[in-house]
Amino acid sequence: MWKARARYIFGRLLHGVPIVLAIVVANFFLIRLAPGDAAQVLAGEAGAATEQYMQQIRSQFGLDRPLAVQFFSYMKNILVFDLGYSFRHGRTVASLILDRLGATALLMFVSMALSLGMGILLGTIAARRNRSSAAALIMLVAIVSYATPLFWVGLMLIILFSINLGWFPTSGMSTVGLDATGLAYALDVAYHLVLPAITLSFFYMALYTRLMRASMLETLRLDFVRTARAKGISERKIVRRHVIRNAILPVFTMAGVQVSGMLGGSVIVESVFGWPGLGLLAFEALFARDLNLLLGIFFLSSILVVITNALVDLAYTMIDPRIELARGRSNA
């Protein structure tokens, strides 16, 4: 079975290759529709915006070449995973991304786990206690959370828990000047992670709560639930063994789709909290017109989305083995 699942994941990843390439092409041309380039930014910072100086910068970074030549050169490099050079940081794009990837991966993993866990729990409670005051309160909180901008949530959490109460730091991933390793360093990072993770998971928790409640209510009305009740199985066992297992599938589907949205949300959250991840790096690259760096981040993001959706499909087969069985019959 594990070999079959491995082959399936490999097939899904292969199908994702043309999607990633299409995204790479679209990003290359869309980014260049924005006004300004690296030469204008550097010339402005140097205080010397003469045409000769700007032409020298464009020649140095290959910006004076025809767009078609730049495109084919970029695609040739992408095929060998050469993401180019960042003029702003004076380093290769790959090394910059690798330095920041861990921070963003940690933030997204914790936020996804928090939003999924709380969303499934609150959605289950709201469905089990439908039409009660507890369900009404949960759905009210979910609606308000869904409609609240992430940057506003982050700023309010900073004002309340950092400035007024002094419980958590306002920014950064670790305490400045801290000389710690191992468990002490991990606890310090976790301490700095609390507010950014809550902020990023706020919107998605509301989304998963509403979706889980709707899916639970629909599943509770199906025939197999009535049959289980007629056999005298307890309501708690029915919900735990049968209803949640079926109702959770749409939530996992949405979670896979929302990975790209969470990557976009990390730009806002990392900017608000000064979290040193890819989101903050992309924000800085955009204003500096560091196109190679920006394209590299987009390229990695598209790969992460494809991989995550393949893993979500794999999770389906673990939650409900009938999906694997149905696929095997259709292939036969």
Compute the C-alpha angle 82/84/89, nearest 5°.
135
Distance CA 210, CA 145 (A): 11
Distance CA 221, CA 141 (A): 25
Domains of the chain and any CATH numbers:
2-92 (no CATH), 100-331 (1.10.3720.10)
Q: What pLDDT tens digit does each residue of the chain (332 aa) get?
A: 567 667 767 777 787 788 888 888 888 888 777 666 666 666 665 555 666 766 766 776 666 777 788 888 888 888 888 888 887 777 888 888 888 888 888 998 899 899 989 999 999 888 888 888 888 898 898 888 888 888 888 899 999 998 998 888 888 888 877 777 778 888 888 999 999 999 988 888 988 999 999 888 888 888 888 888 888 888 788 887 778 878 888 888 788 777 777 777 788 888 888 888 888 888 888 777 788 888 888 888 888 878 877 777 777 666 665 555 444 444 44
Distance CA 114, CA 215 (A): 20
pTM, full prediction: 0.78
